Amino acid sequence: MSSFSKIWVENARPRDIWLSVGVHPSIAETYAEHTLLSLYIAHSLIECIDVDLGCVVERLVFGSEAGDKAEDIARLAELLADIVIAKEYARLGYDVKGFLREKTLEVLEILEEYGENKKLVKKVDKILKE
């Protein structure tokens, strides 16, 4: 199997976190879907802060090392993507309250460092409230 095929197979499988809370594999978010949603969210966050989009993309897609701001934006995007999907599973009746609480606290912890950036805080708040 080629390297590309291995990556494709790995990223097409459901995320373990959703399987662990009982989400059926047929509707569980895949690793590839998570990366795509994280990239979409990161793009909207970058409008609020001076950070290199390329560094954020490399971190989200390849797990590369990123500078402090790029790392923070990538992590925020991943956490917000988790929250968006968890809210969908909650609407379907899955018990993800603890997961949502944990991820929201992580988001707030990162945001503490950027409290003076009202535009970023407002964007994150909007995503959290959707």
Whichever domain contains 100, its CATH number is: 1.10.3210.10
Alpha helices (H) along the chain: 3-12, 16-20, 31-46, 53-62, 68-91, 97-112, 118-129
pLDDT of residue 2: 61
Residues paired with 14 in a beta bridge: 30
Other Cβ atoms closer than 10 A to 102: 13
- With cut-offs at 50, 70 and 90, classify the pLDDT of residue 41: very high
Is the pLDDT reported for residue 56 higher than 80?
yes
Looking at the structure of the chain, the number of domains it has is 1
Is the pLDDT reported for residue 11 higher than 80?
no
User: What token pair was written down for 70?
Assistant: 């790029």
Is the pLDDT reported for residue 59 higher than 60?
yes
Nearest 10 degrees: Cα torsion 125, 128, 129, 130? 120
Domain span holding position 113: 3-129
61-90 average pLDDT score: 92
Mean pLDDT over all residues of the chain?
90
33-39 average pLDDT score: 95
